[in-house]
Amino acid sequence: MWIHLNGDYKTPVYRQIGDTIKHQVAVGELAQGERLPTVRQLAQDLGVDRNTVVRAYRLLDREGVISLQHGRGTFVKTPSQHPHLARHRREHLDLLMGEGIARALSLGYAPDEIRQTFARRLREWQRAREQVRPRGSGVHSKKAHRRAKE
Amino acid sequence: MWIHLNGDYKTPVYRQIGDTIKHQVAVGELAQGERLPTVRQLAQDLGVDRNTVVRAYRLLDREGVISLQHGRGTFVKTPSQHPHLARHRREHLDLLMGEGIARALSLGYAPDEIRQTFARRLREWQRAREQVRPRGSGVHSKKAHRRAKE
Amino acid sequence: MWIHLNGDYKTPVYRQIGDTIKHQVAVGELAQGERLPTVRQLAQDLGVDRNTVVRAYRLLDREGVISLQHGRGTFVKTPSQHPHLARHRREHLDLLMGEGIARALSLGYAPDEIRQTFARRLREWQRAREQVRPRGSGVHSKKAHRRAKE
Amino acid sequence: MWIHLNGDYKTPVYRQIGDTIKHQVAVGELAQGERLPTVRQLAQDLGVDRNTVVRAYRLLDREGVISLQHGRGTFVKTPSQHPHLARHRREHLDLLMGEGIARALSLGYAPDEIRQTFARRLREWQRAREQVRPRGSGVHSKKAHRRAKE
DNA sequence: GTGGTCTAGACCACG
DNA sequence: GTGGTCTAGACCACG
C-alpha cells in the first residue's frame, strides 16, 4: 500500500493518510472487510512515526470507515457493521447530508447551485468507482476477501 | 461589516474572514473601489485579535482581491480583473459537496440512497429557511447583520 | 481544576480526564461557555504529559462537548453551538438514545428493565445537577460567564 | 453455544465472552453444574484465539461463576451462591444507561427532552424487533444460535 | 504480533 | 500564549 505524502503542504500527515484511505474505500480500491496494513508496517512504508499512523487509523475508526481491532488488525468496515441497524443507517446518512447542506447554505450558496454541484460531484465519484471496480485488479480478488472474515 | 465566524470549526479565523470577503466581492456585495473597514475596526467588530485581521487582509492583498494602501486604507480591486474569485467560490462548493459524498460512499451507502437523501434534506432545509425569514433576502441589509452574532 | 486520577486502574488517563469533564458539564459544575484550563496548565496540575491532555480535550471536542480553539483556548460548548440547528439537534439526540437502547436490547435486557433503569438513572443525574447548580458556587458566577464570549 | 461478538466495539473479546456467560448463568440459560464447551471448541466456534477463551474462563473461575477443573472440563457453579451475578447484570445496565444520559446532558439537552426521546426510541426499537422475530423468544433455541453470526 | 497508551521534547500555526 | 503535529522510544493489553 502506498500513500503519496504531499511533503511540503499544510495538510497534516495523519489527515493525508486518512483522506487517501477514505478515498480508496469510497472508490472501491479497498474492498469492504479487507485488512489494512498494520500500524507498524504502514509507518515504515511511509517513513512516518507509528503514532501518526495510529492517529490516522483512529480517526477513520471514529468515523466508522474502518475497524481497529486490538490484537487482530485493522479492517475496512462492512456496511452491515456500520452504525448498527437499518434505522440507524438512515439517520446517519440524514445527518451526514444535512451537515454539508447547512454549511453550504450558511456560506451563501444558492440551493440550485448546491443541488447542481452535488449532482455533478456524485456522478464524478461514481465514474471513479466504475473505473476501479470492474477490473478486479488484485486487491478485490478472492484472496483479499478470504482474509476479510479472519 | 459583519462576518459570521464559525467559532468551532477547523478553518482558521483569518481564512474565514478572507473567504467571506472574497465571497462578498464575488457576488457584488462589496463594490470595486469600496473601502473596507480598518484593521482595528474590523478586529473590534468581530472580537478577534488585530493580527488576525491583518493576516486576512494581507492574504487578500497578495491574491489581488484588495489593495492595502499604507496610511490610506484598504480598498476592493476591480472584480473583473479577478477570474480567480468566481473560481474560488466554485471550487469551495465542490470541495464541500465532495467531502460528504466521499464519506457516505466510503461508509457503504449506495449512490441512489445518497442522492435521494440529499435531495430530501435540501428541500427540508429550504423549507426551514423560508419559515425563518420570509421577508426576502435580508442577508445583505445592515439590520440583519447588526446582531447576527447573537 | 482538579481531576482525580485513579492511578492504578485500567481506564486510560485521557479517558478519566475526559469522563470527569463530561460529568462536570453534565452536572452543571462547568458552565456552558466557560473556559477550561489550558492544555499546558492542566497537564502540569495533573502531572501528566501535554499530549495526554490534548487527547482528552480532542475527544470531547469530537463529541461536541467542548470547543478547542486554536490560539484562543478551550471552551465548554453552548447548546446553540452544538450540532447545528434544531432539526440537527433532535436527530442527534435520537441517534444518541438509539445507541444505548440497541446495545442494551442486544445484550438481552428486557424493555421494561431498560425503561426503569433509564428513568432511575435520569432522576439520579437530575438530582446531582440540582445539588451543584443552585449554590452558584464560584464557577458559574458572573465572572465565569463574562469570559465566555471572549 | 453461541456468543455474539461485538466485533468493533471497545470491550475486549475476552470480556464479551465472560459477560455473556455470566448473563446466561444469571438468567438460567446455563444451569448450575452444566458443562461449558471446551476451550478449543469455543475458540473454534467463535473464531477467536484459544488464549482469549482461556482468559475469559479464568476470569469467571476467579469470580466464582464457573469452575475450571483440570483434565475434566469446565462447569457452572450454583448461581444461588453468587449474588454477584444479579448485581453484575444490574450494574452493567446502569452503566450503559448512565453513559447516554451523561452525554446528552453534557450536550445541553433538557431532561424532559431526553426522557421523551428515549421513550419514543425504545418503542420504535421494540416495534422493529417484533417485526423481525414474531415467533416468540427464539433467542435460546439452538437453531436461532446456529447461524446468528451471519 | 497487533493495537493502545504515555512521555519528553521539538517545532509549527494562530491570535 | 494557545492549541496542533510529529517523533522516538517505552511499556502494556489483547489474541
pLDDT at A92 over 70: yes
Per-residue pLDDT at D114: 96
Q: Looking at residues C61-66, what average pLDDT do you find?
A: 88
Q: Looking at residues B78-88, what average pLDDT do you find?
A: 63
Per-residue pLDDT at D141: 36
Say what percent of chain A tops pLDDT 90. 39
Q: Looking at residues C99-125, what average pLDDT do you find?
A: 87
Cα within 13 Å of Cα(C65), Cβ side: 25
Q: Looking at residues C100-115, what average pLDDT do you find?
A: 83
C149: buried, middle or exposed (CB in 10 Å: 19+, 13-18, 0-12)? exposed
Q: What's the pTM? A: 0.72
Q: Which residues of C in 74-133 have their CB below 7 Å from strand E's atoms?
A: none
Task: Give A-chain residues touching C85 at CB under 8 angstroms.
Answer: 102
pLDDT per position as a tens digit, A122-131: 999 999 888 8
D141–chain A nearest CA distance, Å = 23
Q: Is residue A92 less than 8 Å (CB to CB) from chain C?
A: yes
pLDDT at D142 over 60: no
Of A81, A82, A78, A76, residue with least CA distance to A1: A76
Q: Looking at residues D82-89, what average pLDDT do you find?
A: 67
pLDDT at D7 over 60: no
Per-residue pLDDT at A52: 95
In three-state secondary structure terms, C5 is coil
Q: Is residue A77 less than 8 Å (CB to CB) from chain D?
A: yes
pLDDT at D53 over 70: yes
Alpha helices in A4-141 (DSSP H): 13-27, 39-46, 50-63, 86-106, 111-132
Place of cell 489550558: C38
DSSP track, chain B: ------TTSSS-HHHHHHHHHHHHHHTTSS-TTPBPPPHHHHHHHHT--HHHHHHHHHHHHHTTSEEEETTTEEEEPPGGG-HHHHHHHHHHHHHHHHHHHHHHHHTT--HHHHHHHHHHHHHHHHHHHHHH-TTS--TTSHHHHHTTT-
- Where is pLDDT greater, at C129 or C114? C114
User: Chain A, 94-113: which have a CB under 8 Å from a chain D CB?
Assistant: none
CA distances from B54 to B17, B34, B49, C32 (A): 10, 18, 9, 31
Of B34, B14, B39, residue with least CA distance to B24: B34
Q: Is residue B8 less than 8 Å (CB to CB) from chain C?
A: yes
Which range has the top average pLDDT, A102-111, C67-76, D87-96? C67-76
Distance CA C150, CA B46 (A): 11
A61–chain D nearest CA distance, Å = 9
Q: Cβ of C93 and D111 within 8 Å? A: no
Q: Choose the closest CB to B106 out of A25, A104, A126.
A: A25
Per-residue pLDDT at C21: 92
Q: Choose the closest CB to C81 out of B8, B12, B47.
A: B8
pLDDT at C48 over 90: yes
List the single range of B72-81, B108-117, B133-142 with lowest mean pLDDT.
B133-142
Distance CA D83, CA C92 (A): 38
Q: Give the pLDDT band (50/70/90) at residue B81.
A: low
Per-residue pLDDT at D145: 39
- Where is pLDDT greater, at B80 or B148? B80
Nucleotides of F under 7 A from a protein CB: 1-10, 13-15
Place of cell 440550485: A112
Which range has the top average pLDDT, C34-48, C126-140, D59-73? C34-48
Strand E within 7 A of A72 CB: yes
Per-residue pLDDT at A68: 92
Per-residue pLDDT at B142: 38
pLDDT at D73 over 90: no
A46–chain B nearest CA distance, Å = 23
pLDDT at A94 over 50: yes
Q: Which chains touch C (3 or more CB pairs under 8 A)?
A: A, B, D
pLDDT at D98 over 70: yes
Per-residue pLDDT at B138: 37
Q: Is residue D8 less than 8 Å (CB to CB) from chain A?
A: yes
Per-residue pLDDT at A126: 92
Mean pLDDT of chain D: 76
**Contact status, residue C27 vs residue C129, Cβ threshold 8 Å:** yes
Cα within 13 Å of Cα(B80), Cβ side: 1
pLDDT per position as a tens digit, D16-48: 888 888 877 766 778 778 889 999 888 888 888
Q: Which three cell numbers stand for residue D20?
A: 455473556
CA of A114 to C1' of E15 (A): 33
Q: Which three cell numbers stand for residue B128?
A: 426551514
B4–chain A nearest CA distance, Å = 9
pLDDT at B140 over 60: no
Q: Cβ of C67 and B7 within 8 Å? A: yes
pLDDT at D138 over 50: no
